[in-house]
Amino acid sequence: MNWRALITVVTLGVMIAWGLRALQGSPEADFTAEEKAMLERLEPLLDTLVLQQEDLSSLPGHFEPCEGGEPYALQYGSDGASPDVEDIQVVEPSEAPASYSDFCDADGRAFVSSIVALPKDKGHLLFLRAAYEELTRADNEQALRQLVDASFDDLSSAEEVIDYRWVTAPTIGDWRYAWARTVDNPDMDRPLEVYHFQLVRNVVLGGVLIEVPSGATVDEQALAVVQAFDNRIAAQLELLAAEVQAP
């Protein structure tokens, strides 16, 4: 895997196309006064919310900050009034407030990336809540296949997806979904597991990508990393909540 060529998976809908119907919260919806105050306080703090080096202690290896790929966004679509996610495409992210972190293992066999962003408006936030709730359904195999197809371009020509699955992560975020791919790389002695975690906590959008060699405990190790990420966001939100609710 060429780590510098990796594309950070940002299914945050950081810039979702607004021409889609359904799943797109009410365009007339607006943030509450508390939500607006929270967003104002969060924007200068985004760099502190992404994964830090110490958050990766559950993963084997030695991670250092590295240069990751350019983030992208996923556009979720549906037909008519149906709540089902029927189409997922890669789109260019916008200039919404966001922060990123990327870490590489010293031997080049593992990679971790994270992003935090703020929604562009209340309709965008409501849209993502609905989409993530829909994508949490374990029987939504069509959407899972579309996620696999949408992320195909971050593979090298020699790599092949040999398995994919939903991942259960019920304790992260207020809304979330997670999935993983098993990728065969002929230059490595074992396949890679690539985890994609997406969450919404309050008004914060978060995403984590973890790529590590397959092993018996990698699911638990990956979940520990994303839990540390979510805990960091939740702790900051708790501190700010007291400020925005103060008389």
- Cβ contact 164:152 at 8 Å: no
Name residues whose C-beta falls within 8 Å of residue 92's C-beta, 6 or more positions apart in sequence.
Answer: 15, 72, 73
Residue written as token pair 């949408």: 150
Residue 66 contacts residue 103 (beta carbons within 8 Å)? yes
What CATH number is attached to the domain comprising 105? 3.40.1000
Residue span of the structural domain in which 74 resides: 3-245
Query: How many domains in the chain?
Result: 1
Please report the pLDDT score of residue 100 as a whole number.
87
pTM for the whole thing?
A: 0.83
* Residue 200: predicted pLDDT: 94
- The segment with the largest mean pLDDT, out of 46-50, 90-94, 96-100, 107-111, is 46-50
pLDDT class for 1, splitting at 50, 70, 90? very low
From CA 158, how far away is CA 127, in angstroms rounded? 36
Q: Which two tokens stand for residue 154?
A: 């971050």
